Structure formats: structure tokens, C-alpha cells
Amino acid sequence: MRIYIVGSVASGKTTLAKKLSNKLGIQCTHLDGIVHIKDRANKE
């Protein structure tokens, strides 16, 4: 299952994502974390 949450800065996306992942028992992955990992790999 994939659920995408989008919105403006400070709109509560992370709070909602954490609550949903806990309630549904699924992993929460933030796009920022994925983008930063790829950026580091490209700089090396």
C-alpha cells in the first residue's frame, strides 16, 4: 500500500504520516530522506 501526502510547509504532513503509519501498521518513508541520500551519492 502506498499513500502519498502532499502539502505546504508546516501543514502537518509529517504528523499525519506518523499517525497513519502507526494506525495502519505500515512504514513511513519521507521523500526528503531519499533525496538527501541520492545527493550524497552523487557528490562522492
| Interval 1-44: pLDDT, tens | 889 999 888 999 999 999 999 999 999 988 877 766 655 666 65
- pLDDT value of position 41: 65
Query: Which residue from 4, 8, 2, 42 is spatially nearest to 26, judged by alpha carbons?
Result: 2
**Rounded to whole angstroms, how far apart are CA atoms 3 and 5?**
7
For residue 15, what is the DSSP state?
H
- pLDDT value of position 15: 95
**Rounded to whole angstroms, how far apart are CA atoms 16 and 35?**
21
- pLDDT value of position 32: 76
Question: From start to end of the chain, where are the E strands?
Answer: none
C-alpha cell at 13: 504532513
Rounded to a whole number of angstroms, the distance between the first and last alpha carbons of the chain is 33
